[in-house]
Amino acid sequence: SIQTELSCSMSYLLRMCPDVIPDACLLCNSSCPWSSFSSNEKAACSAFQAAAFVTRTIQDLQELLEIQIKIPSLDLRSFSHFFSFRGVVNGFFEVLIKCYKTGLMSQYIKSWKTGDTIFWRGPFGGFPYTANQYGELLMLASGTGIAPMLPIIQYITENEDDETFVTLIGCFRTFENIYMKALLQEQSRFWNIRTFYVLSQEQSLKNLPWSFRETVHLGRINENLIKSMVNTCRRKPFVLVCGSVTFNEDMEKCLKAIGFEKESYFIF
């Protein structure tokens, strides 16, 4: 277990993301095993912004896939979230948490105050990525399933020696539901990154900004769409899949139908 103490101050370290939808909140923590840390300066956490707090230097930390939090008056509850660790950068790591309006755990997370103590348990599992390990990555993500994809993309774009191509297909209900749009647009400006969106409940492309219209497909992702995207890949892709259980099962069926072997994809 890792104990992290949220002290009485917080500071913005991450890029401000004004387009993050209200029920998504980006929290950042860092720690060494069984240690407590302090942060530097206080800042309010807007529902539309990504906020962070900084701690002391992390000595060693790997992928974290599970969190345990004790809710007052209730039993200890374990739950899993989709996220991936980018590596130790300036003494913090990033966690993307989807907060649901009626969720018990979400309400507890929203109630966190400076001075509260959180226990982080891990690391467990994850997708080990090495620069230039694959010629191209095809990422199929639904909703919060985009969380583990972002650190991999950023790792690639921040490494000048990594020439891996990336094609990301993010599936959301509407344009407003797309997480981290500003960050995704920023990453797609790199020569080796492409981002596409599949919107199941958006009625018309005319309602979208011009910069998104060419990269949005209306409807649901299916075998034909995946096959057409695979055909546009510049190299044979290795596929990463992350979403709900149903989404993951559907994507695996589609991949097998178009000829992908078990060794050619990874499901978070």
pLDDT in tens, 14-27: 222 333 333 333 33
Please list, residue by residue across 123-159, b when 16 or more beta carbons sit within 10 angstroms of its beta carbon and e when fewer do: eeebbebeeeebebbbbbbbbbbbbbbbbbbbbbbee
Question: For 133-139, what is the mean pLDDT?
Answer: 96
User: Is pLDDT of 200 > 50?
Assistant: yes
pLDDT exceeds cutoff 60 at 123: no
**Has this prediction a pTM greater than 0.85?**
no
Q: Mean of the pLDDT values across residues 243-257?
A: 96
CB-based burial label for 103 (10 Å; 0-12, 13-18, 19+): middle
- Average pLDDT for 132-150: 93
Place 71 in a pLDDT band, splitting at 50, 70 and 90: low
Highest mean pLDDT of the ranges 35-49, 108-122, 244-258: 244-258
Q: Residue type at 183?
A: L
Q: Examine the pLDDT at 145 and tell me if it is beyond 80.
A: yes
Question: Binding site residues for FAD, as ranges?
Answer: 96, 98, 105-106
Q: How do residues 181-194 score in pLDDT, each as one tens digit?
A: 999 999 999 999 99
pLDDT of residue 100: 80
- Whole-angstrom distance, CA of residue 127 vs CA of residue 218: 30
For residues 190 and 111, the model is more confident at: 190
What residues does 68 pair with on adjacent strands?
78
pLDDT at 45: 38
Provide the pLDDT for residue 256.
97
83 token code pair: 């996220």
Average pLDDT, the chain: 73
pLDDT of residue 44: 37
The pLDDT confidence band at residue 196, using thresholds 50, 70 and 90, is very high
> Does position 258 have pLDDT exceeding 50, yes or no?
yes
Dist. CA 198–CA 224, nearest whole Å: 13
Binding residues, as ranges, are 96, 98, 105-106
